[in-house]
Amino acid sequence: MNALSDLQATLDPSRRSWVESANDSTNDFSIQNLPFGVFSARQNDARRVGVAIGDEIVDLAALQAAGLLKLSAAKTDVFARDTLNDFIALGRETWRSVRVQLSALLARDTAMLRDDAALRARVLVRQADAKLHLPVHIPGYTDFYSSKEHATNVGSMFRDPKNALLPNWSEMPIGYNGRASSVVVSGTPVRRPNGQLKLPDQERPVFGACRKLDIELETGFVIGAGNALGEPVACADAEAHIFGMVLLNDWSARDIQQWEYVPLGPFNAKTFATTISPWIVTLDALEPFRVAQPVQEPAPLAYLRHEGRHAFDITLEVTLRPQQAKRASTIARTNFRHMYWTMAQQLAHHTVSGCNTRVGDLMGSGTISGPTDDSFGSLLELTWNGNKPLELNEGGTRSFIEDGDELTLLGWCQGDGYRVGFGACAGEIVPALK
Amino acid sequence: MNALSDLQATLDPSRRSWVESANDSTNDFSIQNLPFGVFSARQNDARRVGVAIGDEIVDLAALQAAGLLKLSAAKTDVFARDTLNDFIALGRETWRSVRVQLSALLARDTAMLRDDAALRARVLVRQADAKLHLPVHIPGYTDFYSSKEHATNVGSMFRDPKNALLPNWSEMPIGYNGRASSVVVSGTPVRRPNGQLKLPDQERPVFGACRKLDIELETGFVIGAGNALGEPVACADAEAHIFGMVLLNDWSARDIQQWEYVPLGPFNAKTFATTISPWIVTLDALEPFRVAQPVQEPAPLAYLRHEGRHAFDITLEVTLRPQQAKRASTIARTNFRHMYWTMAQQLAHHTVSGCNTRVGDLMGSGTISGPTDDSFGSLLELTWNGNKPLELNEGGTRSFIEDGDELTLLGWCQGDGYRVGFGACAGEIVPALK
């Protein structure tokens, strides 16, 4: 067995599955994708690890119990678990071995599971019958600020349009520590936060519900192999530490943020909720969509340099559906490839001081804005701080998010006849506490 | 049995222990203190929960196994553990019950353990023979900025001496998310971080070892009862959510910080290490040292108001011992009572947006500076950004920390004939990676 060629075969664009829904070129979960998540089902409410395929989920705990999934690791009891952490901790060889085995098992020509109805009934769960949970326990959450267009837009609005980018921005992937406790999975309702608001006509702040509630369209990556305290991860090695990616909505209360953030950064404006998509798409599945990152000028300091291509061609969309509306409106379209700083550079910078990372740590990209007015990743930018309200297809206009609005992030890589997608990252806003 | 009067009896200043070292009025670990930690020993290297008494540790796992410690909780197997989290999660009634039982068992007149040498040998471990570990698993670490004197000093140095305090500072306990992964226990060596430094005579930053390494003298509190997402903790209820306090050194790389912190706050300047003291002193033990907080003007918004006294009279000291020196020099003396915002206000503010907290979460006070030049809680302030080097008793002068220096925070409440102290919070600086 040649491990590398087996892995290569899982990316073969012509491979199709006997799970027919996976072969629809607009279904996020092709046989080339095979993202990992945690689910429970109506008929079995224990949480366990699954892999999405078309409209189905492969129950890895059941598959292992049936003898159809072999792990060579010392510890193999990792799938009947509330989170992916134990599985991820086994390391990249194991992730890849599971990917290779699943790809083979689900391929159109493999009869073992395809032709055994009783086994299929134990191992496959319809996504429509499943509940998806937060896929990992997240020991630490960090958020970066790595879109040049986003940083320029924000700097233009709140500081000086002529010097919108601060001098440090071009030298390092600026980041800050986020709040891990309030990271929730797609579908979790999000309560509008209360906090201190500084109104222009009043000397002192007032307490009340956020009036400028916003999204931030981001991706996040999940640490698959940590580093010890005092031992930085080199930029060239950084991708080997990444298990995979998710979509991430860094909900933001712009009015609370504006009043609180100097000098220590955003806090209550962002700690009330961060939503991620339930499926973690592995870097292996994203490999065919690797593209060159933007040219970096000035050339980064040595510890931030890497050879080759480290951006990914991931189409991103944001939709908004008002509570009474039947249809959602697409309010932004952009692409992850626009990001100035790469994930590898983010991780190298994060650890260069000696900071340690752990399996399951989540690192947000920062808001992903493209170069055009309709490619911005936040309402703050799309409406230019509320000054240019968006027209929705149905449900009026929006400057910021209203109660009952459902915001959804979507993301996918489009292959030739197949899609590697993330599923939805959605949240509906419920009214603030009185 | 009257639970409240039993608890009151544990605070009786006249109570003495048959562990004679505990009766020394300068020993941190009087019978009135009874702080919780996690230790291992030469003769038994399994980590387990202990309580400090004088120069000894009571092994709670052994005490429970001997039938001398009863828990009424449903789950009682909480002491043979790597961390205190399972014990803390049992709730305040259980913490108090253990405190009451230990106080009675260790009191001078109680013969049960005192007179049973074989039992004592199983249950008591000399601190000199023990290794102390991080006492809790820390799901989230937040750091505040609640000393008016510190914020004023920093504002004077880096912004405008005439408007040193920013307008938001007097309205809320400003805080930010810290990095939980790099919180280490006292005694852990701390490696000087590398990072980007912006030198005044150069256009671009250079990469290198921090040249302005500093401490921040802080305390921290540990969450004993979390709150659910979307359900804020009221200021009046906040202290019931606190298990206890530690000393905390928020090591800071001032040069890295100065270049990176705008606009999202400090990141690599602080994520390389945070040291805490190994014993968690409970709020119950601190009760006799409760004092009034400073007058707050303007009066805080309603959600930050509480009746009564919420500061604590805790004497704090910082010492510095150069590598070759025999003696440490005391470089600062101050008191926790100077803090403008209280722990209750910090927790109420942290959660008012709906942010959830979890058992073991650590909340730093922010640098504690007093009103006088020798009461500042950082070298940045003590040397006024390096412009007024400190004279040490032995080992020359210091503007910032040098390699080999050991920095130690000390803190205690002085009762009448007894002390409720924290033990040392120490760390020695090792050279940066080349």
Which residues contact residue A142 at a Cβ distance below 8 angstroms, ignoring those fewer than 6 apart? Answer: A175, A176, A177, A178, A350, A361, A362, A363, A364
Q: Which residues of A touch B352 (CB under 8 A)?
A: 193-195, 268
> Residues A133, A137, A150, A338: which is the catalytic one?
A150
What is the least distance, in Å, from the CA of A48 to any CA of chain B?
Answer: 23
- List the alpha helices (DSSP H) in A225-363: 254-260, 283-286, 343-351
Whether residue B26 lies within 8 A of chain A, CB to CB, comes out as: no
Whether residue B228 lies within 8 A of chain A, CB to CB, comes out as: no
State the total domains in chain B.
2
pLDDT digits (tens, 9 = 90+) for B412-422: 999 999 999 99
B339 and B404 in a single domain? The answer is yes
A113 and A253 in a single domain? The answer is no
Q: Do B267 and A177 touch (CB under 8 A)?
A: yes
Residue type, B93: E
A157 and A101 in a single domain? The answer is no
Q: What are phi and psi of A266, to 5 degrees?
A: -70, 145
Q: Which residues of B touch A171 (CB under 8 A)?
A: 196, 204-205
Q: What single-letter DSSP state applies at residue B148?
A: H
DSSP notation for B304-325: G---S--EE--EEEEEEE-TT-
Closest CB to B196 among A171, A266, A355 = A171
Which residues contact residue A40 at a Cβ distance below 8 angstroms, ignoring those fewer than 6 apart? Answer: A46, A47, A48, A130, A131, A133
Structure tokens at A229: 């305290």
Whether residue B172 lies within 8 A of chain A, CB to CB, comes out as: yes
Q: What is the per-residue pLDDT for B2?
A: 67
Q: Do B301 and A259 touch (CB under 8 A)?
A: no
Q: Which residues of A touch B139 (CB under 8 A)?
A: 139, 180-181
d(CA A373, CA A371): 7
Whether residue A428 lies within 8 A of chain B, CB to CB, comes out as: no
B316 and B180 in a single domain? The answer is yes
For residue B75, pLDDT over 90 is answered with no
Whether residue B298 lies within 8 A of chain A, CB to CB, comes out as: yes
Structure tokens at A97: 């071995």
What value does the mean pLDDT take over residues B267-285?
Answer: 98
Q: Do B349 and A268 touch (CB under 8 A)?
A: yes
A304 and A341 in a single domain? The answer is yes
What is the least distance, in Å, from the CA of A387 to any CA of chain B?
Answer: 23
B104 and B209 in a single domain? The answer is no
pLDDT digits (tens, 9 = 90+) for A27-78: 999 999 999 999 999 889 999 999 999 999 999 999 999 999 999 877 889 9
What is the least distance, in Å, from the CA of A140 to any CA of chain B?
Answer: 7
B-chain residue closest to A142, CA distance: B179
What value does the mean pLDDT take over residues B132-157?
Answer: 97
Q: Do A262 and B166 touch (CB under 8 A)?
A: yes
Q: What is the per-residue pLDDT for A158?
A: 86
A-chain residue closest to B151, CA distance: A263
A-chain residue closest to B184, CA distance: A229
Pairing type for strands A190-191 and A425-430 reads parallel
For residue B104, pLDDT over 80 is answered with yes
Q: What are phi and psi of B141, to 5 degrees?
A: -125, 125
pTM value > 0.95: yes
A-chain residue closest to B192, CA distance: A353
What is the least distance, in Å, from the CA of A419 to any CA of chain B?
Answer: 35
For residue B74, pLDDT over 90 is answered with no
Structure tokens at A46: 């224990």
Of A105, A133, A161, which closes a domain? Answer: A133
What is the CATH number for B56?
2.30.30.230
Q: What is the per-residue pLDDT for B159?
A: 86
B70 and B154 in a single domain? The answer is no
The strand pairing partners of B197, in sequence order, are B206
Whether residue A178 lies within 8 A of chain B, CB to CB, comes out as: yes
Within 10 angstroms of residue B295's Cβ, the number of other Cβ atoms is 7
B-chain residue closest to A229, CA distance: B182
A293 and A332 in a single domain? The answer is yes
Over its length of 434 residues, how does chain A's per-residue pLDDT go in tens digits?
567 789 999 999 999 999 999 999 999 999 999 999 999 998 899 999 999 999 999 999 999 999 999 998 778 899 999 999 999 999 999 999 999 999 999 999 999 999 999 999 999 999 999 999 999 999 999 999 999 999 999 999 988 899 999 999 999 999 999 999 999 999 999 999 999 999 999 999 999 999 999 999 999 999 999 999 999 999 999 999 999 999 999 999 999 999 999 999 999 999 999 999 999 999 999 999 999 999 999 999 999 999 999 999 999 999 999 999 999 999 999 999 999 999 999 999 999 999 999 999 999 999 999 999 999 999 999 999 999 999 999 989 999 999 999 999 999 999 999 999 999 999 999 999 99
A165 and A314 in a single domain? The answer is yes
**Closest to A340 in 3D by CA, of A75, A147, A57:** A147
Q: Do A353 and B256 touch (CB under 8 A)?
A: yes
Q: Are B226 and A137 in contact (CB under 8 A)?
A: no
Of A93, A113, A133, which closes a domain? Answer: A133
The residue whose two tokens read 């109104």 is: A199
Structural domain range at position B41: 3-133
Q: What is the per-residue pLDDT for A2?
A: 67
What is the CATH number for A248?
3.90.850.10
Mutate which of B267, B356, B434 to test chain A, going by most A C-beta atoms within 10 A? B267
The CA distances from residue A297 to A170, A171, A172, A294, A341, in Å, are: 8, 9, 12, 9, 11
pLDDT digits (tens, 9 = 90+) for B338-370: 999 999 999 999 999 999 999 999 999 999 999
Residue type, A251: W
By annotation, the residues of B acting in catalysis are 150
Q: Are B100 and B4 in contact (CB under 8 A)?
A: no
A267 and A370 in a single domain? The answer is yes
DSSP notation for B363-408: EE------SSGGG-SSHHHHTTTTTSPEEPSSS-EESSPPTT-EEE
d(CA B271, CA B250): 9
A-chain residue closest to B261, CA distance: A264
For B14-112, list the strands marked E by DSSP. Answer: 36-41, 44-53, 56-59
Q: Which residues of B touch A198 (CB under 8 A)?
A: 168
B219 and B107 in a single domain? The answer is no
Q: What is the per-residue pLDDT for B116?
A: 98
Residue type, B40: S
Distance of CA A313 to the CA centre of its chain: 14
What value does the mean pLDDT take over residues B239-265?
Answer: 97
CA-angle at B48, arms to A73 and A86, nearest 5°: 20
Pairing type for strands B183-185 and B397-398 reads unpaired
**Closest to A179 in 3D by CA, of B353, B169, B58, B293:** B353
Whether residue B168 lies within 8 A of chain A, CB to CB, comes out as: yes
**Surface-to-core class of residue A46, CB atoms within 10 Å of its CB (0-12 exposed, 13-18 middle, 19+ buried):** exposed
A112 and A205 in a single domain? The answer is no
Closest CB to B260 among A168, A206, A232 = A168
Structure tokens at A412: 């996918």
Of B74, B105, B133, which closes a domain? Answer: B133
Residue type, B397: T
Whether residue B37 lies within 8 A of chain A, CB to CB, comes out as: no
Question: How many CA atoms does the CB half-sphere of B274 hold within 13 Å?
Answer: 31
d(CA B355, CA B394): 48
Whether residue B258 lies within 8 A of chain A, CB to CB, comes out as: no
For A130-260, list the strands marked E by DSSP. Answer: 130-133, 141-144, 175-177, 183-185, 190-191, 194-197, 206-209, 213-214, 217-223, 242-249, 252-253
B185: three-class secondary structure by DSSP: strand
Q: What is the per-residue pLDDT for B43?
A: 87
